[in-house]
Structure 1
Amino acid sequence: MGGLLGHGTRVLLWMWAAFNVFLFGWIALTSLKSSREVFGSPLELPAGPQWSNYDSAWSVSQLGQGFFNSIVIVAAATLTTIALAAPAAYVLTRTGRRTGGPVTTFFAVGMGIPMQAVIIPVFILAQKVSLFFYGAFGWWDDRISLYAIYVAMSLPFCVFLLTGFFRTLPGEMEEAAALDGAGGLRIFTTIMLPLAQPGLITALILTAVSLWNETLLALMLIAENDRYTLPQALLGLYQTMQYTSNWGGLFAGVVIVVLPIVAVYVWLGHRIIEGMTVGAGK
């Protein structure tokens, strides 16, 4: 019975994967069609590739600027999150104090709090920070607030994930290094971090993907067009293309948003699987 259930689950997963591949392929082909072809022959190949759709999507609604903003904000927030979560997770797994377990549970609980439940306090806090810096220095960039909130909302998941991974690492090498006179910081940076590389890469990729697709906070905090993130710019592109009826350009914008994530999964998907399964296999 268990074998049949396992086989059925694999079939469903393959069907779901095939559907998503087909959907992305259809979007990519549609992005090369004229607006007439989008509605007239939605399932046929484009008569002639309309590469100008990508140029239009990139320039209209500042999609290019949004792409740059997302790259900078997501990269900075992801690297900061990993830099904070890795030592925190290591300390929580290696500390002998009773507070280690409750603090780990605290981070796990933080994963279950939806952003929609705290969006109003977060917005008010961001506005107060902005007003403070405007009053004190005459300048503030709301992208900095977005970056800080991204780090705060990503930390619970990363700490929880890396805590479970660090627990699977053997302690013999730490003990040997300690006997040789190595301090805690050196043991962490030269021994444990290289051993934890699969888990770190998994946490980095999953964090970057979740932040890349985030839209709600960006809509709440960023109002200037030149500071839009990529999902915001795509919404602006959708409104623009509705008036110009350039539906091929709209699909081109969707491809621009989705393609980096697809490329990351194709390039590093095996690392995600390795990071998620190494701990289970030990």
Structure 2
Amino acid sequence: MTTSRSRRANGPFRILGVPAVWIWACFNVFLLLWVVLTAFRNGSEIFTEPFELPRSLSPENFRDAWSASDLGSGFVNSVVVVAAASLTVIVLSAPAAYVLARGRQRSSEFITMVFVMGMGMPMQSVIIPIFVWMQEISTYMYSAFGWWDERISLYLIYVASSLPFTVFLLTGFFRSLPAELEEAAALDGCTGFRTFYAVMLPLARPGITTALILLVISLWNETLLALVLITDTEMYTLPQALLGLYGTMQYTSNWGGLFAGIVIVVLPILAIYIWLGRRIVEGLTLGVGK
């Protein structure tokens, strides 16, 4: 039995897969470093000496990228919309996932399957109904109150589209937690809400942290919905502002400023992943292992 396990561990897929993964990882790290270093160079150097080190580390390209195409405003809009949507999804998903995980009714399995089906629905197939629906809501709000913000439309769709995956992830995590703790809390006189809030929610913190990080990463890079729902340049999110920056820098041939804009978009998420990436693995491992 030990021999069969060692053969599986040293099988052809592992022998070929491990070097392939390392090569792919090294390529991505090299590409990231090249983009960061290119952000400090001017346009002529990028084309004549693409793999040379920059002559100076002047932040001029970053200043140009931040001021051009309202990249700074897009950064603030992305932070506000992504933070609000992610927190709302967690607040709604955690109790829903707990009820589905601990529910003994037949409807619990059916509702869980509905969320799974929602995960498999491509956004491109429903983008037109979403646009029409949001237009009707904005028209009603303008006629009733004389005001509406397109970022609210984006926020609502972000919440609706992120709920299926988050509920599915947290449902599996809550199912892995021991039911004996709930029985002990019930014997101590805790209500169902108090048991969830005081006992189960702290135990589910690794899974909630994992879901929150994955939400922030996916919503930060989202572009399609923002392009469809937001038309006012002052309300552009960061990916939209980066597309506008591409047109500006292409017209002025300031390719170093374009790379600086890419760095501004990528580095916040990269920093979050480096800081909290281990918690993603811990949360998924704890959810599987218990």
Q: Structure 1 length as normaliser, TM-score? A: 0.98
Given that residues 35 and 247 in structure 1 are in contact (C-alpha distance below 8 angstroms), is that contact kept between their aligned partners in structure 2?
yes
Partner of 1:237: 245
**Deviation of residue 243 (structure 1)?**
0.6
Partner of 1:53: 61
Partner of 2:87: 79
Letter of the 1:265 partner, please give it: Y
Partner of 1:94: 102
The secondary structure found in structure 2 opposite 1:106 is helix
Q: Which moved more, 1:192-201 or 1:7-16?
A: 7-16
Unaligned runs of 5+ in 2: 1-6
Partner of 2:276: 268
Which of 244, 266, 285 is the aligned partner of 1:277?
Answer: 285
The secondary structure found in structure 2 opposite 1:140 is coil
**Deviation of residue 18 (structure 1)?**
1.5
**Deviation of residue 7 (structure 1)?**
4.0
Partner of 1:42: 50
Which of 2, 13, 21 is the aligned partner of 2:8?
Answer: 2
Q: Structure 2 length as normaliser, TM-score? A: 0.95
Identity of aligned residues (%): 61
CA RMSD across the alignment: 0.9
Q: Does 1:115 align with 2:155?
A: no
Partner of 2:141: 133
Q: 1 CA distance for matches of 2:269 and 2:79?
A: 12
Question: How does 1:198-237 map onto structure 2 within 5 Å?
Answer: 198-237=206-245
Given that residues 34 and 50 in structure 1 are in contact (C-alpha distance below 8 angstroms), is that contact kept between their aligned partners in structure 2?
no
Q: 2 CA distance for matches of 1:120 and 1:251?
A: 33
Question: How does 1:237-256 map onto structure 2 within 5 Å?
Answer: 237-256=245-264
The secondary structure found in structure 1 opposite 2:106 is coil
Letter of the 1:261 partner, please give it: I
Letter of the 2:88 partner, please give it: T
Which of 163, 171, 181 is the aligned partner of 2:171?
Answer: 163
Q: Does 1:65 align with 2:49?
A: no
Q: Does 1:146 align with 2:131?
A: no
**Deviation of residue 2 (structure 1)?**
2.8
Letter of the 1:271 partner, please give it: R
**Deviation of residue 20 (structure 1)?**
1.2
The secondary structure found in structure 2 opposite 1:99 is helix
Q: 2 CA distance for matches of 1:203 and 1:15?
A: 29
The secondary structure found in structure 2 opposite 1:48 is coil
Letter of the 1:109 partner, please give it: M
**Deviation of residue 35 (structure 1)?**
1.0
**Deviation of residue 14 (structure 1)?**
2.1
**Deviation of residue 51 (structure 1)?**
1.1
**Deviation of residue 97 (structure 1)?**
0.6
Q: 2 CA distance for matches of 1:166 and 1:23?
A: 39
